[in-house]
Amino acid sequence: MKSVVTTVVTAADAAGRMPSASDLESVQGSIQRASARLEAAEKLSAGFDAVVKEAGDACFSKYPYLKQAGEAGDNQGKVDKCYRDIGHYMRLINYCLVVGGTGPLDEWGIAGAREVYRTLNIPTAPYVAAFAQARDRGCSPRDMSPQALAEYNSLLSYVIESLS
């Protein structure tokens, strides 16, 4: 799993040397940003269900055609799966906030997602609408501190980019 610490250790191991002073410096650097990330992760997990519901609602209100017969959300089971997937991405964002890198999203969310959606004939635009809503909705200091919100929004943008 890619994070600052594992990157440093991999590089040191490839060279066969002990962790050097500059390795320790870069770990220290990531630690300094960590408290904002952990704050965002904590707040996201506390309001998780509400965030997922709001994001999912946004995608069906922007694209009501999805619920028409023959579309991707034409029965309740499919609609539930859409909310589930949004929750899935939100959970991975929570992991990324903790890890301090995009490793969990890359490995468990984005890799292969495009192919899966194409095979299942699921449009990705509604997901973009859902995450854009989540990104617009976050408000500092009501929800979290500005630094934490910036970390959270940048990961939402990362997901949006990958689905666009």
Partner 1 sequence: MLDAFSRAAVSADAKNACIGAGEIASLKQYIAKANTRLDAVNAITSNANCIVSDAVAGMICENTGLIQAGGNCYPNRRMAACLRDGEIILRYIAYALLAGDASVLDDRCLNGLKETYIALGVPLTSQARAVAIMKASSLAHINETNTETQMAESNQMLQQRYNKMATVKGDCSMVSAEAASYFDRVISALS
Nearest residue (CB) to partner 1, 66 versus 134 = 134
CA distance 120 to 76: 17
Look at residue 102 and give its three-state secondary structure: coil
CA distance 40 to 60: 26
Nearest residue (CB) to partner 1, 72 versus 96 = 96
Listed ranges 34-42, 59-67, 126-134, 137-145: which one lies at the site for partner 1 (CB under 8 A): 34-42
Nearest residue (CB) to partner 1, 62 versus 91 = 91
Q: How far is the CB of 64 from partner 1 (least distance, A)?
A: 30
Q: Is residue 55 involved in binding partner 1 (CB under 8 A)?
A: no
Three-class DSSP labels, 115-156: HHHHHCCCCCHHHHHHHHHHHHHCCCCCCCCHHHHHHHHHHH
Report the site for partner 1 in 69-98 (rule: CB under 8 A): 91, 94-95, 98
Report the site for partner 1 in 103-162 (rule: CB under 8 A): 103-104, 108
Closest CA to 52 of 111, 108, 133: 133
CA distance 43 to 154: 16
| Binding region for partner 1 (CB under 8 A) | 1, 3, 5-6, 8-10, 12-13, 16-21, 23-24, 27-28, 31, 34-35, 38, 41-42, 44-46, 48, 91, 94-95, 98-100, 103-104, 108
